[in-house]
């Protein structure tokens, strides 16, 4: 994922990446693992919260 490579270059101090539930799956997890020691956290939508 080119955006992750650029993020690693520009922000080497980042330790955790938050991603929408749409990025859940092995492909995203593998891309994150290949680029460094990041922790990927998938954020799921709350059914009780209204709006954006």
Beta bridge partners of 20: 43
Instruction: Tell me the per-residue pLDDT of 6-51, one tens digit each, with 9 for 90 and over.
Output: 988 999 999 999 999 888 999 989 988 888 788 999 998 888 888 7
List CB contacts of 44: < 8 A, sequence separation 6 or more: 21
- pTM > 0.75: no
Domain ranges of the chain: 2-43
Contact (Cβ atoms closer than 8 angstroms) between residue 23 and residue 3: no
């Amino acid at each position: 994922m080119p955006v992750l490579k650029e993020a690693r270059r520009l922000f080497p101090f980042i330790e955790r990446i938050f991603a929408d539930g749409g990025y859940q799956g092995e492909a995203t997890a593998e891309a994150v693992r290949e680029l460094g020691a990041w922790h990927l956290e998938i954020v799921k939508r709350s059914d009780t919260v209204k709006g954006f």
